[in-house]
Chains A and B, each alone.
Chain A
Amino acid sequence: GAVVSQHPSWVICKSGTSVKIECRSLDFQATTMFWYRQFPKQSLMLMATSNEGSKATYEQGVEKDKFLINHASLTLSTLTVTSAHPEDSSFYICSAYQPSRTVNTEAFFGQGTRLTVV
């Protein structure tokens, strides 16, 4: 399968600061990338869909001014958590979509980023 690299794996930041998380598709061009949030022992909740060169589409209830998503190239999407607060502490996972000739859906996941806001 294709490789998606997410960086950093974990980060601790102070309340009120911003933190950027990168998601890179290493060996393929991803037309679309997705950002999910996962609380401990819970499921993955889709936050937003990121398309290269256009504005991200946010799911209902997700603050787009707080979670800034940029998809500047076909291999890189970034999620910036602005003015972070302790309640933003969570596990953030990205996935990259590669259209396949045989199967329409082929999403590859990054390793995830554990964010702790103190």
Chain B
Amino acid sequence: TQLLEQSPQFLSIQEGENLTVYCNSSSVFSSLQWYRQEPGEGPVLLVTVVTGGEVKKLKRLTFQFGDARKDSSLHITAAQPGDTGLYLCAGALGGGADGLTFGKGTHLIIQP
């Protein structure tokens, strides 16, 4: 059973369109992180959300943490080809659990 479910798995859209990627769980997380991974490289942190209902913006990317801290979303406005990559969400369980739990990722392709 996957602790963190990401959807969609694959998404291919045209430059300029908007999109939303979801990260859902039945578990409560103390924090949730979003990473972006490009081919041949390791994941790189985009943002960490900690408080239920929190919204963070990073240029054209908007991240939201669910009120119950069980889910999160990533919204990209006016997508650009440079946004292409694998987007991973990762949750930290409380109570001293081991490290982060990663979702399987969303493969995003932005076509010019």
Q: Does A associate with B in a complex?
A: no
Q: Which residues of B contact A (CB under 8 A)?
A: none
Q: Which residues of A contact B (CB under 8 A)?
A: none
